[in-house]
Amino acid sequence: MKYSTKVGNAGEYKTGCLVVTPARARSIFRTTKHRDYVERLTADNAHGKTVVLALPDKIEHVMVVGADEKKQSESDFRKNVGAAARALAQISVPDAVWHLNDIEVTDRDVYWKTRNALSTLSGSLYRFDEHKSRREKVSRPRRVAIHADRRTRTTTLRAIRHAQALDAGLELAKNLGNQPPNICNPGYLARESRKLGRLPKTSVRVLDEKQMQTMGMGAFMSVTRGSENPGKMIVVRYNGGRKGDAPIALIGKGITFDSGGISLKAGAGMDEMKFDMAGAASVLGATRAAIDGQLPLNLLCIVAAAENMPSGKASRPGDIVTTHSGKTVEILNTDAEGRLVLCDAISYAKTLKPSVIIDVATLTGACVVALGSHASALYSNDDALTRSLEESGQYIQDRVWPMPLWDEYQQQLSSPFADMSNIGGREAGSITAACFLSRFAGSVKWAHLDIAGTAYRGGAHKGSTGRPVPLLFQYLIDRL
Ligand code: BES
Ligand code: MN
Ligand code: ZN
């Protein structure tokens, strides 16, 4: 998808589809020779509804979106943008021009309108049909321009640049997530990450199992041990900022398939455990967006990539392992593997002196029970960081909800044999998983996002959502 801006008078340029308010449509029909079309608009225009009129003209279609008011609430705007995005995915046109700046949204500016509209559009135009022997025919728009005038042009251009970068990041994250687990294994994630190393100011280093063993990553190693596909710790660095500035660390859970290991999962829906690398996909996607958007900051992106499989070599319930930090863990359930790969990634990240660590993981089924698919669970040891992530998520509609890390929950992790166990019992599963990770973050500014409910959809629309790439990218932009 190519995003751009368009200046000039509506009705005077050539496009496959002009996306406008009813008021703008009326004025265009009056000034062109299409007065008769004005009547067709008297149909019940409402927020969240679109009417597409085909014209025999330079403008092939006019898509009328929403009701008449120029001033819209944020929620009406979202409804309209959602409807327009869905409709644009349905009509077969090569390009579109969107007159977004005709709308005023209460308390929101030109930049916000373009960012939110295009982020929604990126969501609805995406398809993953790489493995279909016959592809769907509808050709979706490949170029979408936001109409701007002298007043709105500079801001719109900045928004376009960020929207374009986010589009690339979302595409990467979704593609990685949707790939089947026989293709997307730890080696594949490493190869795809290495491709980022060709981009400006970016370098990639991949630690193999031998190196991780030597470095003492016993928790990570206990997870990858059962698989024929060797695990990888992938480190992508983007140095867009000042030399010497501490990087922001993004860490992703990259379990390319989670069978549960010896604590084997039930069969139904197990295919969805290919999405258990969605955290990894999202931090790689956010990194891609930061690089494309040329954000002036330093990033450290770490992916803990492994496959959780049962085998004669797999770890057993009852095994005790020593983590990279030196702390010991009694593995009571091999299906609580995410925290095991992440704890070593977090303590390794700390040796690289980041200013803040944000880890992202499809960590617990309990999180889906608690928050469903609308918000990712947010845990942090820093109130300012919590507020920043809440605000960035609200801004770009990729929301998080704060959860507690109280000492009372920490107690659920005690083990009679090791420093801690890897599960905290039946109650508060998402919280105790986060408590486990918090012990490895220690006093470094840290946040953990449990995205088990938000990263992908099941059912008829099964597929990766790309979340929380929009949130992470917005968080980075908001740091500038
Ligand atoms: N990858 C799963 C969590 C998950 C479950 C994500 C459902 C998305 C949907 C994770 O590795 C896991 O298996 N967690 C266990 C933890 C339990 C053994 C303490 C869970 O949630 O059941
Ligand atoms: Mn698991
Ligand atoms: Zn898992």
Q: What is the CATH number assigned to the segment(s) 2-149?
A: 3.40.220.10
pLDDT at residue 156 is higher than 80 = yes
User: 463 CB less than 6 Å from ligand 1?
Assistant: no
Distance 338 CA to ligand 2 centre (A): 6
Average pLDDT over residues 320-345: 99
Alpha helices in 239-277 (DSSP H): none
Q: What are phi and psi of 60, to 5 degrees?
A: -80, -35
Choose one of 223, 307, 335 to mutate for the ligand 1 pocket test, by most ligand atoms within 8 angstroms of C-beta.
335
- What pLDDT is stored for residue 42 in this prediction? 67
Average pLDDT over residues 314-319: 98
Residue 265 annotated in active site: yes
Check 108, 161, 265, 327 and give the catalytic one: 265
- What pLDDT is stored for residue 46 in this prediction? 87
Give percent above pLDDT 70 in the chain: 99
Can you tell me the distance from the alpha carbon of 380 to that of 438, in angstroms, rounded to the nearest whole number? 8
Buried-exposed string 438-458: b where 16+ CB fall within 10 A, e elsewhere: bbbbeebbbbbbbbbbbbbee
Residue 479 annotated in active site: no
- What pLDDT is stored for residue 40 in this prediction? 79
For residue 218, give the nearest of 340, 97, 128, 307 by alpha carbon: 340
- What pLDDT is stored for residue 136 in this prediction? 79
2-149 and 170-478 share one fold: no
Atom nearest to 338 CA in ligand 1? 11
User: 354 CB less than 6 Å from ligand 1?
Assistant: no
User: 258 CB less than 6 Å from ligand 1?
Assistant: yes
User: 340 CB less than 6 Å from ligand 1?
Assistant: no
- What pLDDT is stored for residue 58 in this prediction? 87
- What pLDDT is stored for residue 137 in this prediction? 77
Q: Compute CA 182 distance to the chain's CA centroid, rounded to the nearest angstrom.
A: 22
For residue 344, give the nearest of 332, 354, 359 by alpha carbon: 359
Position 43 confidence tier, pLDDT thresholds 50, 70, 90: low
Atom nearest to 424 CA in ligand 1? 19
User: 333 CB less than 6 Å from ligand 1?
Assistant: yes
**Structure tokens given for 457:** 């959809």
- What pLDDT is stored for residue 329 in this prediction? 99
Residues 180/182/185/188 CA torsion (nearest 10 deg): -80
Reported as a single tens digit per residue, the pLDDT across 407-454 is 999 999 999 999 999 999 999 999 999 999 999 999 999 999 999 999
Q: Which CATH architecture has domain 170-478?
A: 3-Layer(aba) Sandwich (3.40)
For residue 17, give the nearest of 62, 53, 49 by alpha carbon: 62
Atom nearest to 276 CA in ligand 1? 1
The DSSP annotation for 27-46 comes to HHHHHTT-THHHHHTTS---
Of all ligands present, the nearest one to the C-alpha of 272 is 1
Report the mean per-residue pLDDT for the chain.
96
Position 44 confidence tier, pLDDT thresholds 50, 70, 90: low
pLDDT at residue 284 is higher than 90 = yes
Distance 336 CA to ligand 1 centre (A): 6
Amino acid letter for position 457: R
Which residues is 146 bridged to in the sheet?
A: 5, 98
User: 366 CB less than 6 Å from ligand 1?
Assistant: yes
Is the separation of the CB atoms in 468 and 170 below 8 Å? no
Rounded alpha-carbon distances, angstroms, from residue 385 to 34, 43, 378, 395, 448: 54, 48, 10, 15, 11
Atom nearest to 265 CA in ligand 1? 13
3-state secondary structure of 257: strand
Check 339, 350, 399, 439 and give the catalytic one: 339
Average pLDDT over residues 387-403: 98
Per-domain residue ranges of the chain: 2-149, 170-478
Atom nearest to 432 CA in ligand 1? 19
User: 254 CB less than 6 Å from ligand 1?
Assistant: no
Reported as a single tens digit per residue, the pLDDT across 46-105 is 899 999 999 878 889 999 999 888 899 999 999 999 999 999 999 989 999 999 999 999
Reported as a single tens digit per residue, the pLDDT across 117-139 is 999 999 999 999 999 999 877 78
Average pLDDT over residues 385-397: 98
Q: Which residue has the higher pLDDT, 32 or 20?
A: 20
- What pLDDT is stored for residue 279 in this prediction? 99
Reported as a single tens digit per residue, the pLDDT across 216-258 is 999 999 999 999 999 999 999 999 999 999 999 999 999 999 9
Position 34 confidence tier, pLDDT thresholds 50, 70, 90: confident
Distance 26 CA to ligand 2 centre (A): 56
- What pLDDT is stored for residue 146 in this prediction? 98
- What pLDDT is stored for residue 229 in this prediction? 98
Reported as a single tens digit per residue, the pLDDT across 167-224 is 999 999 999 999 999 999 999 999 999 999 999 999 999 999 999 999 999 999 999 9
